[in-house]
Chain A
Amino acid sequence: MPPYVVKDKCDGCKGKEEPLCEQICIGDLMTLDAVTGKAYCRSLRDCWDCMSCTKICPKGAIEQRIPYQLGYHGAKLIPMIGPDTITWTCVDINGKVERFTYRTRNKK
């Protein structure tokens, strides 16, 4: 399942050696384009859609998509991460919006 990097938003984690998406990707798929200084997925077919990159991106620059072979165009799933919460917004192909918020870590 391919993650798409929104170029205008990605800042390549300020051009350091490894942006966070590259660090976190379990498949070694996200990497930095040496020319543009922005991240991209080197092999869209190989993504397992764990969304780790999407969740960790500090700029909210990564969007996860369902391959068209399996699901139709236009659906969105956007996580918003707090220190111990997550809020998901899901928009289906008919424009229906659903939201989910819950704690991801216990209170200390």
Chain B
Amino acid sequence: MGNEIKTGLYLCTCEGEIGRVIDIDSLAEEASGWSGITAVHRDAFLCSADGIRKIREDIERLGLDRVMIAACSPFFKVREFSDLGINRYLVERVNIREQCSWVHRDDTDGATRKARTMLRVFLEKLKNSRPLEPVKRPILKTALVIGGGIAGINATLDAAGADCEVFLVERKPFLGGKVAELHNYFPRMCPPSCGLELMFSELGKNRNIHVQTLSEIGTVTGSPGNFEILIKTSPRHINERCTLCGRCLEVCQKNAVIYPEGFSYPGIPAIHRALCEEGCRRCKEICPAGAIDLDEKERLNNIKAGAIVLSTGWDPFDPTPIKEFGYRRLKNVFTNIEFEKISKEKKISFDEPKRTAFIQCVGSRDERYLPYCSDVCCMVSIKQALFLKEVNRENEVYIFHNDIRTPGEYEELYQKARKSGIIFIKGIPSELRQDGNKKIDFSVFDTVAGERLDITADMVILAVGMRPSNGNIALKDKIGIALNKNDFIESHLQCYPQDTQREGIFSAGSCRAPMDVSRSIESAGTAAVKALKFFRGKVEISADYPVVNTLKCDVCKRCVEECPFKAYYFDDKGFPKPEISKCRSCGVCMGSCPLSAISLGDLSIEQLSEMIDALDKSYLGNDEPIILSFLCKNDAYRAVDDAGIKGIKYPPNLFSIMVPCSGAVNGAIVSKAISTGIDGVLVAGCPDEECHYVHGSMLAKTRLADISDKLKEMYLEPERVRFIEISRDDAEKFTRSVEDYAKELRKIGRNPLRV
């Protein structure tokens, strides 16, 4: 392509906003002589209908193959300049307003010099631009739901109800998850059977739904819209011919037959072969229906799905490590989960009144165990306490707590509990003791009354918290899902709670955060809607994804390691290649490659390299330092634009290039900038925790620190490269830093490598 491009240069004076500061006429005249420039047009109002029409006409009339718009920030007038009748990757917006005329308005000469340099540099970029088209991929309108608890079941029903095919995979022999084990659930205190039974019957009726129990996911391949999931199904050993006559249960001496409850799904027992007595085949022999196959093997099948809903649920916190509560050591100390079973199966007689103590926040809100609030335990304890009062009004019930949290309408139950005589005490017992008899003694400091209480209870219920199930860890390995620090599925809790960090994968229920039954059901609905919405589109992959130059690549795998989205795989020749549907074009791989072998589609290493060549290092004369800054597109660039909008000034010594992430800046590019005489390189990225691409900023810092070290060894000033954390609102911080940096560089003196 080289110099043969035909560029139309459109300079906007912006009704004086630009023209008052920058000498547009002289720039236009000068630029018309540059190679690669075919037409130059000045306009006072380029974004007007007339202005746009002029560009469109020129493209057609003059056969322009590149357009350079020197006007406002590329984040302004996006719509106006979006459809010029030329591939958008062949259009370059040169920001001479927000980042030039507005900020250098007291230095018209400097602003004009900088603007000229900007035109030169971005013309060089255009010389190596290519037209790019986004890649569109159809989406398979099938969902896979992993985990058949209350959330998974509801997500399945909601999605299938909207005519979408759904595969529901559950690890256990029966659906229903933790809810099926409950005695009842609040606020209406209905037994789980009532809701679940209805759901199960719907599951059975809907032909769009395929349920696989005793199944776990194996490998997950493919990409959003087109996943392929290997499912491993353990044998049930009993098939549909079972009539639930119960004879197998009777003959089994090892409790190996897992029998369904009244409302289980599927309504077929399973045999836990590991428990079987060796060589015993009694159940098979006695089964009148011939439904038992003790030699059934594990099965593998593949499921193709466009989207995945994760609903792997939760596990109760095991309080054994909290020694002072004596769980497993003391009699009559139960967890709240155990108490559900006790109350459901009436395992304890309450004919004699009992004194029961609930201890709240067991494990939860404790830095050593679960640093978060488990959300449901207060309500669970109130529910269970009310049950105790219900079975015997004489039962004495204490709830020891840090705070009672009953948001919204749940307050009603709390009031009811208080009225029914349940005693709430703010304070957590120190140590439970048991001497000979079955009673439990403890003392507690009532922080409200300010006194110590000594209590003897018949029974203690530990309100244990919810922790993510082990399934989450498996998901992290198999699907590459990110987990937060507590191992719940990572999401943008506030705005996109149902989206995971991987496109096409959603989460529902307690695998994302502790939640109660009704919120789980609600989140399942949202996840289903998200999946359905995802199905309506096509996967459109932005055309600027990175490409690996396999002629240069030595397969060091640094890109594979550093890709924030684990998007890299190895092609059939063994070279790393981004799976573009996982890729977000952040360019961290481009920044990582030691051989400069990775380029983004719309910003290649070659382009950057040649832009640096085209940058006249003496555009402000021989004595002024030049700062080349790479600005993160998400925050820093916009913050710098803000400086313009707010009218904050900074010196024209700063020359900026926008990059998708500070992590996209390759060390070789920084090295080249320094080698060719740039006095200071400033990379502006988000603060670590705000980085839009997980660890882009962090990598950028490390790389710059390495270059800084090298500069020191080279007897150059390590200050010549710098990373600066810039958030969206840091316009002032940025301009101050630029001024300080320019001063510092003036003090250090000219880069000795400047020719």
Contacts and interface: CB of A to CB of B under 8 A. Distances in A.
A101 B676 contact: yes
A13 B671 CA distance: 19
B752 interface: yes
B556 A80 contact: no
Interface string A66-97: 00000000001010111111110101000001
Contacts of A23: 554-556
B672 A78 contact: no
Nearest to A56: B594
B669 interface: yes
A56 B596 CA distance: 11
A19 B668 contact: no
- Taking each of A13, A78, A80, which has the highest tally of chain B beta carbons within 10 Å of its own beta carbon? A80
B657 to A, nearest CB: 15
Given A9-B706, A20-B594, A107-B613, A81 B671 contact: yes
B558 A87 contact: no
A83 B605 contact: yes
B709 A60 contact: yes
Contacts of A56: 554, 594-595
A108 B666 CA distance: 19
Contacts of A76: 713
B124 to A, nearest CB: 10
Interface string B601-619: 0000110111001000000
Nearest to A63: B713
Nearest to A103: B613
A80 to B, nearest CB: 5
A87 B753 contact: yes
Contact of A82 (B2, B594, B669, B752): B669
Interface in B690-730: 706-707, 709-710, 713-716
B667 interface: yes
Contacts of A99: 714, 752-753
A80 B716 CA distance: 12
Contacts of A18: 556
A83 B606 contact: yes
B610 A107 contact: yes
A1 B610 CA distance: 36
A47 interface: no
B605 A60 contact: no
Contact of B710 (A16, A20, A24, A80): A80
A2 interface: no
A85 B594 contact: no
A78 B714 contact: yes
A91 B715 CA distance: 9
Q: Interface SS of chain B: helix, strand, loop or mixed? A: helix
B305 to A, nearest CB: 32
Contact of B671 (A59, A82, A91): A82
A44 B753 CA distance: 33
If over half of A's interface residues share one DSSP class (helix, strand or loop), that class is named, otherwise mixed; here it is mixed
Contact of B554 (A24, A82, A89, A97): A24
A89 B715 contact: yes
Nearest to A102: B675
Contacts of A84: 609, 672
B515 to A, nearest CB: 38
Residue from the set B556, B596, B606, B710 with the largest chain A CB neighbour count within 10 Å: B556
B88 to A, nearest CB: 23
B554 A83 contact: no
Contacts of B284: none
B610 A14 contact: no
A81 B595 CA distance: 10
Nearest to B609: A83
Interface residues of A, number: 31
Contacts of B160: none
Band of interface residues on B: 35 or more
B675 A80 contact: yes
Interface in B116-150: 128
Contacts of A87: 671, 674-675, 714, 753
A14 B594 CA distance: 12
A85 B672 contact: yes
Interface string B250-280: 0000000000000000000000000000000
Contacts of B595: 20, 56
A37 interface: no
Contacts of A80: 671, 674-675, 710, 714
A97 B715 contact: yes
Contacts of B606: 83, 108
Given A80-B674, A83-B672, A85-B676, A60 B558 contact: no
B561 interface: yes
Contacts of A13: 556-558, 594
Interface in B522-576: 554-558, 561-562
B558 A82 contact: no
Contacts of B609: 82-84
A84 B672 CA distance: 8
Contact of A85 (B556, B562, B608, B675): B675
A13 B594 CA distance: 10
A95 B106 CA distance: 44
B594 A58 contact: yes
Given A60-B709, A78-B710, A83 B558 contact: no
A78 B668 contact: no
Contacts of B671: 80-82, 85, 87
Interface string B653-680: 0000000000000111101101110000
Contacts of B554: 20, 23-24, 56
B201 to A, nearest CB: 54
B675 A82 contact: yes
A16 B557 contact: yes
Contacts of A107: 610, 613
A56 B710 CA distance: 14
A107 B127 CA distance: 12
Contacts of A24: 554
Interface in B370-412: none
B477 to A, nearest CB: 18
Contacts of A9: 706, 709
A79 to B, nearest CB: 9
A80 B710 CA distance: 8
A60 B706 contact: yes
Contacts of B706: 9, 58-60
Nearest to B1: A108
Nearest to A101: B675
B561 A83 contact: no
B669 A83 contact: yes
Contacts of A101: 675-676, 753
Contacts of B556: 13, 16, 18-20, 23, 58
Contacts of B714: 78, 80, 87, 89, 99
A12 B401 CA distance: 52
A59 B592 CA distance: 11
Nearest to B713: A78
Interface string A38-76: 000000000000000000111110000000000000001
A82 B611 CA distance: 13
B610 A16 contact: no
Interface of A: 9, 13-14, 16, 18-20, 23-24, 56-60, 76, 78, 80-87, 89, 91, 97, 99, 101, 107-108
The 6 A-B residue pairs whose C-beta atoms are closest, nearest first, are A82-B672, A58-B594, A89-B714, A87-B675, A16-B557, A83-B609
25 contacts: A13-B556, A13-B558, A13-B594, A16-B556, A20-B554, A20-B556, A20-B595, A23-B555, A23-B556, A57-B594, A58-B556, A58-B706, A78-B714, A80-B675, A80-B714, A81-B671, A82-B675, A83-B609, A83-B666, A83-B669, A84-B609, A84-B672, A85-B676, A87-B671, A87-B674
